[in-house]
């Protein structure tokens, strides 16, 4: 009888030790994932993160924001919450800070966001956004390819991570042909950030062309990678402002 009680006690102790080890290893893994996520997005606890909002091109009020661009910001809110960063939401014509001063998400094409225009000109010289037949639906050109939208059916968006130096904060550019493509790219970044980390490194830069399909029916849900244009986007036909690419 005493032997049975002793065996039961040993089993309980072993279960407690095993459970504690699993709990501790889970906590350590969660902390490691959080640190990598924070490093990838350039955030840490209580760090301010810039969210640069575009204007609604078709609106008379220069401070109007399209509902899809507002929703794009909400798509990013889960990342900011997980990384424990503090969002600072600013209109595109209110930002007078340099690149890499703070982690940044810059949303919208150059017609709607002055800061996007500066990023394309100084950091991504290989990416060109020119108005097509409809001024509100521009054509994106990069790497010798032109990407023209069919509004509501096929729309394109450039998703780029810009990193100036080893210790600098990264900036993410979401430059879509439409507001819903901006939202789709933000969702793509949130969902696929671990895959992007594995491919480009925690501190590596990248530039992708994404395609949004049948947005008039499916909204921002169906988005796919068209092409990785990192090499072409950051070099273009002239020297980029960025420093040598930082690896992960």
Kindly state whether residue 100 falls inside one of the protein's structural domains.
yes
Residue 245 confidence (pLDDT): 45
Residue 27 forms part of a structural domain: no
Place of tokens 């956004």: 129
Residue 2 lies in a domain: no
Q: pTM for this one?
A: 0.81
**Cα–Cα distance, 125 to 24 (Å, whole number):** 47
Residue among 102, 104, 96 at smallest CA distance from 52? 104
Instruction: Give the pLDDT score at 21.
Output: 46
Task: Give the domain extent around 194.
Answer: 42-235
Phi-psi category of 184—alpha, beta or left, where left has phi over 0 and alpha has psi -120 to 50? alpha
Give the pLDDT confidence score for residue 248 in this predicted structure: 41
Asked, for residue 216, whether it belongs to a domain, the answer is yes
The total number of structural domains that make up the chain: 1
pLDDT score for 166: 67
Mean pLDDT by 10 residues, the chain (248 residues): 57 54 48 83 85 81 79 87 86 77 91 92 93 68 92 94 83 94 95 94 95 93 95 70 42
Residue 9 lies in a domain: no
On whether residue 10 sits in a domain, the answer given is no
34 assigned to some structural domain: no
The predicted structure's pLDDT at residue 23: 42
Whether 87 maps to a domain, the answer reads: yes
């Amino acid at each position: 009888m005493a032997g049975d009680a002793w065996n039961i006690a040993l089993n309980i102790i072993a279960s407690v030790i095993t459970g504690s080890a699993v709990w501790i290893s889970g906590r350590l893994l969660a902390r490691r994932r959080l640190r990598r996520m924070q490093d990838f997005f350039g955030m840490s606890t209580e760090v301010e993160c810039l969210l640069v909002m575009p204007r609604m091109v078709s609106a008379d009020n220069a401070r109007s924001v399209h509902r899809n661009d507002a929703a794009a910001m909400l798509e990013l809110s889960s990342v900011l919450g997980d990384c424990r960063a503090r969002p600072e939401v600013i209109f595109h014509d209110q930002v007078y800070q340099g690149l890499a001063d703070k982690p940044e998400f810059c949303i919208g094409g150059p017609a709607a966001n002055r800061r996007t225009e500066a990023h394309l000109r100084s950091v991504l010289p290989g990416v060109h956004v020119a108005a097509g037949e409809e001024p509100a639906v521009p054509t994106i050109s990069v790497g010798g390819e032109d990407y023209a939208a069919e509004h509501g059916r096929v729309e394109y968006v450039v998703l780029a991570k810009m990193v100036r130096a080893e210790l600098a904060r990264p900036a993410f550019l979401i430059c879509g042909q439409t507001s819903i493509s901006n939202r789709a790219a933000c969702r793509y970044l949130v969902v696929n950030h671990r895959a992007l980390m594995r491919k480009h490194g925690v501190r590596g830069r990248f530039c992708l062309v994404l395609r949004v399909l049948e947005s008039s029916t499916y909204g921002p849900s169906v988005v796919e990678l068209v092409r990785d244009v990192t090499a072409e986007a950051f070099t273009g036909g002239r020297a980029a402002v960025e420093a040598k690419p930082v690896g992960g």
